[in-house]
């Protein structure tokens, strides 16, 4: 079944969902582009117009997830760093099965560039501070994924916040965590 009247974002979302479905029964290296496009109901050429690899497709999934996270977070109060992390970890926890499928397939590494891009959008954060912090968040997420996400998002956010020096916590609390676009689809 081929889809009609769809946007590029919808087609990319269909492909990401197809990848997640196929990962339930196949190893990543066993999944073909033909299987992906058939499961998504789109043409092969559409896949190649937007993605060059299954890894890039996983990165797209993470980027869409973080974009959604920022939209929800921008509407919440109070806007603190710990609240930001709680929202992030909750978004991941709500998609635990998908996140763990990607993790077990070796695709968690695709989250790192998405986190980098996300933190580059914040004003008042010196790039070395952001790089150091992103590494900590990323490695903490890998540990959480390895433990099958057993720790609650609230506990995890509190632990991460406790590790941050007080002056950096204040800096992050001054950041505008509002919504900004995340251009992750190839032109």
Report the CATH number at residue 18.
1.10.10
**Within 13 Å and on the Cβ side, how many CA atoms surround 44?**
4
Domain ends where: 13, 28, 50? 50
* Same domain? 23 vs 108: no
* Same domain? 107 vs 184: yes
* Same domain? 110 vs 162: yes
* Same domain? 3 vs 80: no
* Same domain? 76 vs 18: no
pLDDT tens figures, 112-160: 999 988 777 666 667 787 788 889 889 999 999 999 999 999 999 998 8
* Same domain? 64 vs 147: yes
**The predicted structure's pLDDT at residue 118:** 79
* Same domain? 79 vs 165: yes
* Same domain? 71 vs 143: yes
pTM equals 0.84
* Same domain? 8 vs 62: no
Sign of torsion, CA 108 111 113 115?
negative
| CA pair distance 22, 16, nearest whole angstrom | 10
**The predicted structure's pLDDT at residue 35:** 97
* Same domain? 21 vs 68: no
For the chain, which ranges sit under pLDDT 50?
177-187
**Within 13 Å and on the Cβ side, how many CA atoms surround 34?**
1
Q: Which two tokens stand for residue 161?
A: 């916040």
Cα dist from 133 to 43, 126, 130, 154, 155, whole Å: 40, 11, 5, 18, 18
* Same domain? 141 vs 165: yes
Domain that holds residue 15: 1-50
**The predicted structure's pLDDT at residue 145:** 98
Domains held by the chain: number = 2
- 76, 83 in Cβ contact below 8 A? yes
| CA pair distance 107, 18, nearest whole angstrom | 15
**The predicted structure's pLDDT at residue 104:** 98
| CA pair distance 91, 86, nearest whole angstrom | 9
* Same domain? 95 vs 124: yes
């Amino acid at each position: 079944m081929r889809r009609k009247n769809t946007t590029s974002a919808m087609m990319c979302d269909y492909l990401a969902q197809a990848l997640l479905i196929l990962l339930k029964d196949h190893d990543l290296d066993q999944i073909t582009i033909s299987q992906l496009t058939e499961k998504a109901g789109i043409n092969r050429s559409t896949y190649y117009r937007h993605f060059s690899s299954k890894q890039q497709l996983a990165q797209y999934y993470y980027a869409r997830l973080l974009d959604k996270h920022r939209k929800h977070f921008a509407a919440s109060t109070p806007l603190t760093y710990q609240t930001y992390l709680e929202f992030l970890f909750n978004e991941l926890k709500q998609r635990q099965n998908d996140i763990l499928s990607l993790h077990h397939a070796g695709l968690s590494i695709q989250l790192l560039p998405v986190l980098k891009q996300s933190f580059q959008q914040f004003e008042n954060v010196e790039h070395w501070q952001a790089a150091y912090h992103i590494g900590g968040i990323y490695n903490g997420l890998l540990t959480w994924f390895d433990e099958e996400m057993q720790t609650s998002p609230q506990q995890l956010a509190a632990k991460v916040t406790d590790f941050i020096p007080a002056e950096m916590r204040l800096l992050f609390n001054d950041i505008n965590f509002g919504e900004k676009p995340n251009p992750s689809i190839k032109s």
